[in-house]
Every structure is written in structure tokens, then in C-alpha cells.
Structure 1
Amino acid sequence: MNILLVHGPNLHLLGRRQPEIYGYQTLDGINQHLTKVAERQNVNLKIFQFNDEGQIVSVIGEHIDWADGILINAAAYTHTSVAIRDALTTVNLPTIELHLSNVHSRESFRHHSYIAPIAMGTIAGFGAFSYDLALTAMIQHLSPAPSVDSTGSPESNI
């Protein structure tokens, strides 16, 4: 199972940028943690961070034949980028949009997402744990359907 994780603009400043909103965890710390979680689940996780919209579009397209699913925190581009939405639509892979903060409890311009309508789900407001939730949800989504036990109840993959 191959999962692509894309971080958008300014996320390289996590831990120093508005910690009252985004927390004190660094992007490197988040990435290291997620890499370990993925390894324990036998998942190949590729992680990228770009401040430039064009680089985000490119990395999505470049992984069309590699990735089984995409996790994306497009940050400010969530609210402005038709190009990123089009790239995600083009690759047609299961996608989860995620955010550290609850974008719906912030400024009104953050309430609109170009990505949400084409994503299978959105996770927001749980700080760095939003990434754990998104990774877990994608692994669950991409895993084979649970088998049925002897009582006829589905067995969980969790």
C-alpha cells in the first residue's frame, strides 16, 4: 500500500508559526511519527512539503501510478487553488483533506475548500493528531474488506 502525503505552504514553520493555533509540534516531528506508524502497518509513505502551488500540482501528477491514496494539507491553497483540485481530480485517487486547526471556527475565508467536494473526507481541528487520524482512515479505506467471523459479524481491521 502506497500513500502520498503532501504538506502545503508555511507548514515547514510548524512549532514556530502561531503555536496558539497550530501547536508546538514541528513538521519534522510529525513526519517522523507518521513514518513510524506507516512502517508498523507495512505502508509505504512518501512525504513532501512545498510552498509553491505548482510543485504541489506536479508531485500529485508524478505519483499517479505509485500512490493508492493521497493525504493533503494544502493549507492556504485549500481555499484558493483550482489547480490543486484539478490535479487531485485528474489522478482520481482516494484523497483525505486535513488541517491542524478547525478551519470552520476561524475566519470566514477559510470556510470554503476547493478540495473537500472531491475528497472522500476532511479531518480538521485535532492539531498534529489530525495527521494520525487521516493516515489511519486511509489505511482502513485501502485495506481489504474485513472478513466475517463465525457469528456473521465483520472482523475489524483496526
Structure 2
Amino acid sequence: MAKPLVLIVNGPNLNMLGKRQPEVYGHQTLADIETAAAAHAESLGLDMEFHQSNHEGDLVDWIQGARGRAAGIILNAGAFTHTSVALLDALMAAEVVCVEVHLSNIHQREEFRHHSFVSKAAKGMICGFGSHGYILALDALARLIKES
């Protein structure tokens, strides 16, 4: 029997993790996060695809492509979280359970970061736990998939 597929989709500037504002985003690179997430997904019996782009349309394409193919999406949309109705629309059209992740606690930051368009389509949000948020999101998503 095939393992459920989970997409982890990362937005703009996350390719700069480990270099950009480590006091906010930590010292781990996106490659470090991908390695840890892949190992954890495997331990949960999940297949995983990991994507990152600085281009909104790429994220929309990956999310739309999850429809009928993936059991869930973990989305760290970066700055697009606060600006992108297109990502919200793609999530709604994908009809796949989504967990929203942020490395920092967006509610302790600038006011413009407090609003998330993604949240309307997400089952839940994990923020403020740094790279460990991806592990927490995988745990949550595995549980949601099992319950469905």
C-alpha cells in the first residue's frame, strides 16, 4: 500500500535561512529542515515532497498539483502569507488538508504580519517554534490524515 504523500511548500526568502536574520529565523538552513522533515515523515509512514520558490506562481502550481495526489500540505508561505489571495484560492481549490507553519511567532512581530490569508484554508497554524515547527506540523498532519 502506498504511503500518503505530504507536500511541504516554502515561499520567498526561505532559501536564505541560516544567513538571513538568524536571531529571528534561526541558524538552520532550508536543506537542514528538509533533511529533518524527510526523516520524520519516514518515521510517520509518510512520503514527502519538499519545495521552495521565491515566485508566487510556483507555489500556486504546487498547491494545485496536490489535488487528488497528496494527502496534505504543510505551507510556510513566508511573506506571501500576508499578501496572497492567490495562495488562499489555490488551497481552497486543492481540497487537501493544510497546516500553516511559520518559524517566528508572527503575532509578536510587526502588525502587518499578524494577518494571514492562508489561515482561512488551513486546519491549523504552528508558529514561533523555529525549524521544529515543521516536525510539529508533520505530527499534526499525520494525525489528521489518519483520522480522515
Deviation at 1:144, TM superposition (A): 4.3
SS at match of 1:143: helix
Aligned pair count?
145
Corresponding residue for residue 137 of structure 1 = 140
Corresponding residue for residue 13 of structure 2 = 10
Does residue 125 (structure 1) correspond to residue 137 (structure 2)? The answer is: no
- Structure with the bigger RCO (C-alpha within 8 Å, sep 6+) is 2
TM-score by length of 2: 0.95
Does residue 34 (structure 1) correspond to residue 11 (structure 2)? The answer is: no
Deviation at 1:92, TM superposition (A): 1.2
Structure 1 residues without counterparts, runs of 5 or longer: 146-158
SS at match of 1:122: strand
What is the percent sequence identity of the aligned residues? 45
SS at match of 2:6: strand
Corresponding residue for residue 150 of structure 1 = none
Corresponding residue for residue 74 of structure 1 = 77
Structure 2 residues without counterparts, runs of 5 or longer: none
Corresponding residue for residue 85 of structure 1 = 88
Corresponding residue for residue 115 of structure 2 = 112
Deviation at 1:63, TM superposition (A): 2.1
Corresponding residue for residue 66 of structure 2 = 63
Corresponding residue for residue 156 of structure 1 = none
Distance 1:41 1:81 in 2: 31
- Kept after mapping to 1: 8 A contact 2:7/2:72: yes
Q: Answer 1 or 2: which has greater helix percent.
A: 2
The one-letter code sitting in structure 2 at the alignment partner of 1:98 is V
Corresponding residue for residue 105 of structure 2 = 102
CA-based RMSD: 1.0
Distance 1:74 1:144 in 2: 26
Q: Which range is displaced more, 36-45 or 77-86?
A: 36-45
Distance 2:75 2:147 in 1: 23
Task: Give the one of 27, 38, 49 matched to 2:52.
Answer: 49
The one-letter code sitting in structure 1 at the alignment partner of 2:60 is V
The one-letter code sitting in structure 1 at the alignment partner of 2:52 is Q
The one-letter code sitting in structure 1 at the alignment partner of 2:86 is A
**Structure 1 residues 144 and 120, CA gap change in structure 2 (3 angstroms):** closer
